[in-house]
Amino acid sequence: MKNQHAILCFLGLFLLALSCSKDDNPDTGPIDSQLISTLAIQEAEQLMQSYEADAGRALHDELEPSRFTDEQNVFIQNAISINLDHTAPTVTLPVFKGTDGNGDKVYYIITEASDFAVARKMGINYSPKLKYARGSGGEQLVSLDSSGRMVFPGSVDFSPVRRIVPGTGGTAFPPSAAQPGAVGDADYSPIIMLPSKLVLNASPVKNPSGVHDRLPEGHQSIDTALYQVTLQILDGFQGGRAYYYHLVTDAYDQVPATIELGIYAPKLGQIPQFGQSSLDQESALLGFSPVGNGIDDLDSSHRQGLSSAILSDQNGSGTMAPLDPINVFPIEPANGLERNNNYSPLWDAHISKWTDEAVRLGRQRRITSFDDLEYLVHLGLVTSFTPNAGPANQYVAGLNASNAIINCPVVAHPK
C-alpha cells in the first residue's frame, strides 16, 4: 500500500507540473487527460477503501439503485436515505474521516467530482465545470495519507454563535448584521484538488470545534461509528416545479453564509468567473437567482425571498433553522451525461428585486423558473437587487451578478 501511495503521489505531482491546458476541454481530452482520469480513479478507490475500513461496509453498499424511486428523483446516489417530508426534509449521507490543518480529526462529506468516472464510481454528482477551479487559488490542495484518508491544509471553526439582525431599509434584506456560525480559515475551501488534479466538493460537518449548522439535531445528527450524517435540505424552484432540494454547505460572503447556515469560506471568492454561466464560458460557477424582497408574510403561499428567511429566523431560541429563501435555479444535475454537462454546485447569486412599482401594484408573487424570471424582467416588474456589484448575465435574464458564491450541492427534485 505504501509503495502504491508513493507512486501515486509521484505521478500526481508530475501531472501538476505539466501545463495540461488541453485537458480543460471535457470533449477532446488528449492522453494527459486520460492519465489524470486514471489517477483520479485510483484516488477515489483509496478514499472508498478508507471509508470501508472506517464504516465496516463498502461505499458500494450505499449505491443500491432500488433504494430510491424514479418519483423521488435523487441525484446523489450514495445517499443512505432521504426524508421528503416537505415540512422538514433531510438527507443522510456517508461521512469520510480525515485530518485538518490543525492536525485534528475532521469528518466530511463528498458531493461532486470533476471526473465522470469518479462521480459514477462514488455515487456523487458529476460537475465538469469544477475543473475551472484548478489553479485559481480558490481551491484547497489536499493529499491522501498512507491509509487513503484526506489531509487538508485548511480548517473550519464551528464554534461561533450564529447571529443575524434584520435590515432597516424597508426590507429585512440586506441585514444590519450577520455572523456566520462557522468560519473557514485562510487555507480552507470546500473545493479541493488532489494530486491527480481531480477536483471534489468536500465539506466538513464535524471537528473538535463543533458541527455544521445544517445538522438539525446538532451532534446527535452525526454518527461517527456508522460514518453517516443527517443534514437539512432546502426547497427551491426549477423549471416551474417546487422541492428542488439542495444542501447549503458553504458561501463566499458572510451574509448568505449566515442566512443559509453555511460555512463562511472567503477563499471561494478566488474561483472564476462571476456572471459567466453558459456551457462555452470557462467558469466553475453557475448562475441562479435568490429573490431579495419577495412576499414576507410567513403564512402566505407566495412567501419567497431572503428578506422572509431573515424574518423567520427571529424566534430567539437558536434551535430552529430559518425558512428557506426558495431560490430559483436553472437546471438539474445530469449525472448520466458526460459531455455538454453544465451543472455546478457553485451557484453564482444574481439577486433579483421586485421594483417599487411592482410592490405598489401588489404584483409580487413566487418566481418559479428562469423563464418566469425572464418574463418578469421583460415586463419591468423585476430587476437586479445589486446592479453595480458584478457583470450582467444573459443566462440569468440579464441580471447582474451579486458577487456571492453559494456552495449548494443538489440532492433531489421529486417528480
Predicted pLDDT at 386: 95
Please indicate whether residue 280 or residue 21 has the higher confidence score (pLDDT). 280
pLDDT tens-digit map of 318-375: 445 689 999 999 999 999 999 999 999 999 999 999 999 999 999 999 999 999 999 9
265 grid coordinates: 469560506
pLDDT grade for 32, boundaries at 50, 70 and 90: low
Residue type, 357: E
| pLDDT at 31 > cutoff 50 | no
User: Do 348 and 405 form a contact (C-beta atoms < 8 A)?
Assistant: yes
pLDDT over threshold 80, residue 14? no
Closest CA to 13 of 200, 195, 149, 140: 195
How far apart are the C-alpha atoms of 154 and 142, rounded to whole Å?
A: 9
**Predicted confidence band of residue 170 (pLDDT cuts 50, 70, 90):** confident
Domain that holds residue 227: 2-412
Share of the chain above pLDDT 70, in %: 90
**Using CA atoms, how far apart are residues 304 and 327, in angstroms rounded to an integer?**
8
Rounded distance, CA 110 to CA 190, Å?
A: 9
Nearest-angstrom CA–CA distance, 75 and 72: 9
Q: Which residue carries 459531455 as its cell?
A: 339
DSSP letter at 324?
P
What is the CA 78 to chain-centroid distance, rounded?
16
How many CA atoms within 13 Å lie on the side-chain side of 71? 1
Q: How many domains does the chain have?
A: 1
Residue type for 394, please?
Answer: Q
